[in-house]
Amino acid sequence: MEKQQSKDPLHGITLQRILEQLVDYYGFDTLGELIKIKCFTDNPSIKSSLTFLRKTDWARKKVEDLYVRTIPKFKI
């Protein structure tokens, strides 16, 4: 039997990796402009952003959506 591959572009990618790649690509300044959440604009760090995003579904969804739109720009 063949295993079906997931069509989810986020399958197997951790939130930490998503955030790190977005920060590497955009930087926190631009990320804070694209997604207006305090963890990207006030004393931002990967650790504090991950803590917030893991607790806040709507913010995580915005980050994941931006990542999916940005994927073609990454060399994954």
The tens digit of pLDDT for each residue in 19-65 reads: 999 999 999 999 999 999 999 999 999 999 999 999 999 999 999 99
Please give the CATH number for the structural domain made up of 15-70: 1.10.720.30
Going from N- to C-terminal start, the domains of the chain cover: 15-70
Question: Is residue 76 pLDDT above 60, yes or no?
Answer: no
Q: What integer pLDDT is reported at residue 75 of this predicted model?
A: 59
Q: State whether the Cα torsion 45-47-50-54 is positive or negative.
A: negative
Rounded distance between C-alpha atoms, residue 58 and residue 68, angstroms: 15
Question: Is residue 68 pLDDT above 90, yes or no?
Answer: yes
Tell me the whole-structure pTM to 2 decimals: 0.84
Rg of the chain over Cα atoms, rounded to whole angstroms, equals 13
The better pLDDT of the pair 56, 74 is held by 56
